Structure 1
Amino acid sequence: MTTRLPLILLLNALGLAIFFSWYLPVNHGFWFPLDSGLFHFFNQELVKSRAFLWLVAITNNRAFDAISLLAMGCLMLSFWLKEDKSGRRHILIMGLVMLLTAVIINQLAQHLMPVKRASPTLYFTDIYRVSELLHIPTKDASKDSFPGDHGMMLLIFSAFMLRYFGKKAFGIALIIVVVFIFPRVMIGAHWLTDIVVGSLTAVLIGLPWCLMTPLTDRLIAIFDRYLPGNGNKIKTNS
């Protein structure tokens, strides 16, 4: 992989444009009516439909996060099973580099973005909370919801799938993103802009410098060299 500087800078500029379109206007400009309208739509549905209430409660239980990890693991496993010993090692090390990249970008975003805000369920009054309607363990609030860390991790996973496994894997990964991110918005634990502004901005600014440069390939090669069990030379993508 050679450094694709023009595209990196374009994606960085897009990320900054998205962020400042939300951050600079008074009351977040056109974003706030979208955030508010979406939250209140789903919040009213909680008391209109018992089935919807249970769906939202279950999909925001901590156990559902494990299912998201399982879905990502199954996608990677589908490629791992097709590989020889060297290829399987490559996929495992790529997963390790992906996790390391996600942790670093998430930490930088949490500390460098000049935003701290509560979730809609804590911001608005006279609203319904799933935890009060059903009294079961579920995440329906956050004191600091921006940027959405869960969404950030899933978006980074999708980008790694595109970089190392191609467009089909990327399409499947995007379905996983929607399925496992949107319940946070429906329950009110996140604003829509926590993801489409916060998470996406962090990914557009940080991730191109990892995936559109030789950085991740070099990290994979370094881990392959020093981690136990290196019997073959690892493959590299270009």
Structure 2
Amino acid sequence: MTKTRLLTILLLNAAGFLLFFSWYLPAGHGFWWPIDSGLFHFFNHKIVENQTFLWFVAVTNNRAFDACSLLCMGLLMLWFWRGADPAGRRRVVLIGLTMLMTAVVLNLLGQSLIPVQRTSPSLSFGDVVRVRDLLPNVPTKDASRDSFPGDHGMMLLIFAGFMWRYFGQKAFMVGLAIFIVFALPRMMIGAHWLTDIFVGSFSVVLIGLSWVLLTPLSDRVISLLNRTLPGKYKQINNN
């Protein structure tokens, strides 16, 4: 690993820690609190005022919509899989497995090491209108007993990071678009605070994912999986 890359990792780690502590250390979460509470109440009022918006957040926070996020990620991976030769197709699959392993590990570390137990805004205020009360027959996720850091947003950010590392800038931009489309509805419905995603998820990814993608670690995991998993075309070229 070059000195430049190590410096990049350390800068990303510093940004992650600064982002987290800018929220964690100040009393009442400092300048983040009015942003968090203001956005929640803005969208919570919209749920009552606008029937179209009510149905939008109900549908986009249904478990079936979560499956749509997996489908979008899978389709992007499929695009690169279809354009590769047999050995390259195996490599795309191994990249996907490495990404899933990374997501599980970083999510477990984030949940266990961050000293925060936080309920979602829909459970934190007394003047809340919940979607499940307005649409009782529509199953939707509008609350969480432990919302920080946002695990759904974290997974989407990890996906975008892997797209950048192995498939380039255009794939990264598509990954970011998937993140925005599928992470923001959680905030709009009140299942997550803004900072669950843009502080919690981002800080974990900045700190943890940089050591995976900017070091030889991810390439070595892919190589290990290639040697140990059955199938043809085991020889791949690591970037």
Q: Is 1:177 the equivalent of 2:211?
A: no
- Over 3 Å counting, the alpha-carbon distance change for 1:16 and 1:173 in structure 2 is same
Tell me the C-alpha RMSD between the 2 structures.
1.0
Tell me how far apart the structure 2 counterparts of residues 235 and 160 of structure 1 sit (CA, whole Å): 17
Structure 1 runs of 4+ aligned residues shifted over 4 Å read none
Distance in 1 (alpha carbons) for counterparts of 2:36 and 2:204:
19
Instruction: State the TM-score, normalizing by the size of structure 1.
Output: 0.98
The 3-state SS of whatever aligns with 1:207 is: helix
Q: Secondary structure of the residue that 2:116 maps to in structure 1?
A: coil
- CA–CA distance in structure 1, aligned partners of residues 101 and 54 of structure 2: 36
Which residue in 1 is equivalent to 2:103?
102
Please, which moves more after superposition, 88-97 or 225-234? 225-234
Q: Which residue of 2 aligns with 1:231?
A: 233
Report deviation, 1:232.
4.3
1:2/1:212 contact within 8 Å kept: no
Query: C-alpha offsets along residues 18-38 of structure 1, whole Å, 9 cap, x if unaligned?
Result: 000000001000000000010
Q: What does residue 27 of structure 2 align with?
A: 26
Letter in 2 for 1:172: V
In structure 2, distance between residues paired with 1:226 and 1:98: 17
- Contact persistence 2:20–2:199 (CA under 8 A): yes
Q: Specify the alignment match of 1:41 in structure 2.
A: 42
Provide the identity percentage.
63
- Give a deviation string over 1:160-181, Cα, whole Å, max 9, x none: 0000000000001100000000
Residues 115-141 of structure 1 show CA distances to partners (whole Å, capped at 9, x for unaligned) of: 011000000111110000000210000
* 1:6-64 deviations in Å (ceiling 9; x for gaps): 10000000000000000000100000000001000000001111111001000000010
- Counterpart of 2:158 in structure 1 is 156
1:235 CA drift (Å): 2.2
Gaps of 5+ in 2: none
> How many residue pairs were aligned?
237
Which residue number corresponds to residue 6 of structure 1?
7
* Structure 1 CA distance for aligned equivalents of residues 143 and 229 of structure 2: 41
1:76 maps to what in 2? 77
Contact 1:87/1:235 (<8 A) preserved: no
> How many angstroms apart in 2 are the aligned matches of 1:220 and 1:24?
38
Q: TM-score, normalization: structure 2?
A: 0.97
Deviation at 1:82, TM superposition (A): 0.4
Q: Report the AA paired with residue 83 of structure 2.
A: K
**C-alpha contact 2:131 2:142 (8 A) present in aligned 1:** yes
Q: How far apart are the structure 2 equivalents of 1:116 and 1:217?
A: 34
CA distance in 2, matches of 1:170, 1:52: 29
Corresponding residue for residue 220 of structure 2:
218
1:87 paired to 2:95: no
Is residue 2:209 matched to residue 1:207?
yes
Partner in structure 2 of residue 61 of structure 1: 62
Say if 1:2 and 1:213, in contact at 8 Å, map to a contact too: no
Question: Which secondary structure does the structure 1 equivalent of 2:46 belong to?
Answer: helix
- Structure number with greater CO (CA < 8 Å, separation at least 6) is 1
The amino acid that maps onto 2:108 is: Q
User: In structure 2, what is the Cα distance between the partners aligned to 1:33 and 1:161?
Assistant: 34
Paired residue type of 2:118: R
